[in-house]
Structure 1
Amino acid sequence: MSGSYTVCLGTQNEGVWVSHDGGSEWLRSRLDLPPYARAGEVDVRAVAVSPHNPRQVWAGSTGEPGRAVLLRSDDCGRSFENVPAPLDGSEIWSIALSPHDASVILVGLRPAGVLRSTDGGQSWKELALGAAQLCNAGSSRTTDVAIDPDHADEIWASVEIDGVFHSDDGGDNWARIVLNNGQSLLGPTEVWRDDRHEDIHGVEVGGGAVCASTPIGFFRSTDQGRTWSPSRFPEPVPGAGQIWYTRGLLTKTDDPDTILAGVGDYIPGARGVIQRSTDGGRSWAPVSQVTNSVVYAIAGHRDIPETMAACSIFGQVLTSTDGGATWSRTARDFGETRAIAISPASG
């Protein structure tokens, strides 16, 4: 499998880049953008590969501020076409493609909201997420959307900064959930702030559990979000000190007890690492080299569960072909990256 897969990378200012050989060679994707989205102003914060068609890739771009563009590729990321969607005044921060139905697409927005299509992107409905539109960091944003692989109607969304949101009816109705037990993570020199357990960077679901990443560590619930078990991580290098600002999350598709977490010292950070758990997040081990910034995103695909890719916010790309146990860094670095996805297709 080594090298025979595609990596799609969403960057800050430089659009989408794609590698059809696992990260050895890269080309810049052709994007069908409206006139206002000029070269050098194309931020891509969301990239997702279809679970049903490995050659179909979706991406979310923001041209000028507040003018988002939704894009779809049918040639494994080589080129993207504009998909009309009601995005005026919004930015795209996350995309989820249903593992149950190829026609269901969810798009997470800033200010926090979710759009849903049930016809493959031909029409869209804004869902009543109910998240706060403003927070102490400006406008809120839906950083992640996750559809339960075992239950099509169970959907989770993470909002920065307003908590976790859950729907059990496919997104028609939502309940806000605040992580609890976070204060147990804090050491004697740390100060608790009420927004710390509402600042959610990512959400993953599978095997009857939901996981969330935050600035103060990792949280996992096995009772639909009523109670949470938090954890932090060992030192990435002995003597280097702990880091626990958690961003990217990935649950291994064929083993929900195996979880990968991308962490760093802060945002954007000066160092980061990928931590791996094989017991559902109760214990962790660092499995990658130390990166130049927080590990912002981690990606997998259900058809190649042993193969994964990750990126740091300052452009380093890492890949694994053994279920995340070990990682290697690709030869090419990028400026800044915000999203990553992989496909079993090789272009």
Structure 2
Amino acid sequence: MGKDYSICVGAVGFGGGVWHSPDGGDSWNRIRDPFPLGSQVRGMAVYPDNPNRILAGSDHGIYRSEDSGATWEKLWSPMEGMPIWSIAIDPQDTNTIFVGIKPAALFRSKDGGQSWSKLSVQMAQECHIGPPMVTMLMVDPQDSRTVWAGVEVDGVYRSLDGGDTWTHVEGGVHPDIHGMAISPGEPRRVLASTPREIYATTDMGESWQSVVTTDKFVLPYSRGVAFKSDDPNVIFSAVGDTAIGSIGAIQRSQDGGATWETRPLPVEPNSNIWKHRHPRRRPRFRPRLQLAGRGLQQQRRR
């Protein structure tokens, strides 16, 4: 019996593109049109007001699906030929979309993707790994004027005016940002995941404190981080053996990061787990932890 949700996976490497499962992972097909062969899809985002609507960003531009990932259309954008690494949608005004690329730069649309502007934020263009990339974008669900960007390798950027102006916030956080998360409820707590450590700020990035070093985890290389959508004390951390990696795991803390445990998964991952999230509870839907080696979004069908 088919499951009542769809899964979309953004793929990199040979073939690339988007893979779609209409039955919770029981069967899969690769979406070929309109994605060119070899499209590297790293950024995906679900519309907060419509779980059937998804954006996907590749090195060939940005795409949108209206039917949980079964079919896609390409949107015009100035990001053509620029590898897209992250996408965020304003939950209070879903016509406002932010896109982060490599080399590190930010774009914004205020009309649902019909037109775009490059934001005036000066990010590093070179580092020891080559061109930096915007690995994470977040719009605060309680205050959409607050937008966060995490850059690998250039640290954390913050906007307090909806993306018009930006501040490079340092305050002790390692600059190699892999993932970020905003706690539900009060007090506000922002997490930043780096290769060997997870940091937290409670003062909008002015100062950062270490939550945990990953030598306490079953695998040492930290990627994504997420809060449980209805409990700020529950944190999930995605880890792997190395940057590329051949194995992954999920760590969970139920006390705000003081102690951690390894959670069992249905199968053993064959890569570092890059991204994951815990969806908000909605009527008729059961929340599930969502995992991705290279970018995954899980959707509920109508």
The TM-score normalised by the length of structure 2 is: 0.89
Q: 1:8 to 1:226 in 2, by over 3 A?
A: same
RMSD: 2.0
Q: Kindly indicate whether the alpha-carbon contact (under 8 Å) linking 1:19 and 1:26 is maintained by their aligned counterparts in 2.
A: yes
1:174-226 alpha-carbon deviations (Å, 9 max, x no partner):
1112252x6xxxxxxxxxxxxxx111111111331111111112111111112
Q: 1:88 to 1:75 in 2, by over 3 A?
A: closer
**Secondary structure, in 3 states, of the residue corresponding to 2:163?**
coil
Q: Kindly indicate whether the alpha-carbon contact (under 8 Å) linking 1:299 and 1:342 is maintained by their aligned counterparts in 2.
A: no
Whichever residue aligns with residue 197 of structure 2, its letter is G
1:81 to 46, 66, 73: 73
1:17 maps onto 2:9 in alignment: no
1:175 to 160, 167, 174: 167
1:284 maps onto 2:260 in alignment: yes
Distance in 2 of aligned mates of 1:282 and 1:153: 31
Within 5 Å, give how 1:246-261 maps onto structure 2.
Answer: 246-261=222-237
Runs of 4+ in 1 over 6 A off after TM superposition: none
Aligned counterpart, 1:342: 298
Q: Kindly indicate whether the alpha-carbon contact (under 8 Å) linking 1:148 and 1:206 is maintained by their aligned counterparts in 2.
A: no
Report deviation, 1:253.
2.1
- Structure with bigger RCO (C-alpha 8 Å, 6+ apart): 1
Aligned counterpart, 1:274: 250
Distance in 2 of aligned mates of 1:137 and 1:25: 37
Within 5 Å, give how 1:152-167 maps onto structure 2.
Answer: 152-167=144-159
**Secondary structure, in 3 states, of the residue corresponding to 2:50?**
coil
Q: Kindly indicate whether the alpha-carbon contact (under 8 Å) linking 1:220 and 1:281 is maintained by their aligned counterparts in 2.
A: no
**Secondary structure, in 3 states, of the residue corresponding to 2:84?**
strand
1:206 maps onto 2:183 in alignment: yes
Q: 1:18 to 1:44 in 2, by over 3 A?
A: same
Distance in 1 of aligned mates of 2:42 and 2:80: 17
- Structure 2 regions of 5+ residues with no counterpart? none
Whichever residue aligns with residue 296 of structure 1, its letter is W
Aligned counterpart, 1:316: none
Whichever residue aligns with residue 295 of structure 1, its letter is I
1:81-119 alpha-carbon deviations (Å, 9 max, x no partner):
010111145210011112111211111111111111111
**Secondary structure, in 3 states, of the residue corresponding to 2:150?**
strand
Aligned counterpart, 1:6: 6
Q: Identify which range, 225-234 or 18-27, moves more after superposition.
A: 225-234
Aligned counterpart, 2:41: 44
Distance in 1 of aligned mates of 2:52 and 2:254: 30
Report deviation, 1:163.
0.2
Distance in 2 of aligned mates of 1:288 and 1:149: 30
1:232 maps onto 2:213 in alignment: yes
Q: 1:32 to 1:265 in 2, by over 3 A?
A: same
The TM-score normalised by the length of structure 1 is: 0.78
% identical aligned pairs:
38
- Structure 1 regions of 5+ residues with no counterpart? 63-67, 183-196, 237-241, 313-337
Q: Identify which range, 89-98 or 224-233, moves more after superposition.
A: 224-233
Whichever residue aligns with residue 297 of structure 2, its letter is A
Aligned pair count reads 290
1:152-190 alpha-carbon deviations (Å, 9 max, x no partner):
11111000110011111111111112252x6xxxxxxxx
